[in-house]
Amino acid sequence: MVTVAYIASFFVLCIMGLANASYLMWKHYQKKPLVCPLNHKCGVVTESRWSHIFGVRNEIIGVVFFGSLILGLMGVLLLPTYAGVLVLLIRISCGLSLVFSSFLVFVQFKIIKDYCFYCLISTLIVLLLVVNSFGL
């Protein structure tokens, strides 16, 4: 049974993730440096060779991912016939995103040896989405 609390929290987390990824994308295309609240050089991470996959920047992937989750959640609410399939797709995509995000955190700490506050926030949001998706 889908409860209002899980739907509301899932939606809020998606909006936060979308805002975070959009901010990173906006800063990149404006060619302005990111200000890291933790006194690190976020640009070292966001402009590294790990900042894109198959030619697509990670923050664009994030915008598409969080936007797709919002659309999927709307589908769960508006198309109850397909809710089971949509919830399964949401859970799978959140799980895969957590694996990808965790890999990027590993890259930040072990390969780049610096980290991006906004990237860590994104990973935390994805982790919370995975946990939350099991309440859908």
Per-residue pLDDT at 50: 94
pTM across the whole model: 0.92
Type of residue numbered 65: F
Question: For the stretch 54-83, what's the b/e string if a residue is b when 16 or more beta carbons lie within 10 angstroms of its beta carbon?
Answer: eeebbbebbbebbeebbebbebbeeeeeee
Mean pLDDT, consecutive 10-residue stretches, the chain (136 aa), reads 82 98 94 84 90 94 98 94 94 96 96 93 97 85
CB atoms within 10 A of CB 93: 18
Domains of the chain: 4-133 (1.20.1440.130)
Type of residue numbered 1: M
Q: From CA 69, how far away is CA 82, in angstroms rounded? A: 15
Closest CA to 128 of 48, 1, 20: 20
Q: From CA 70, how far away is CA 116, in angstroms rounded? A: 25
Per-residue pLDDT at 1: 55
Closest CA to 87 of 135, 25, 23, 34: 135
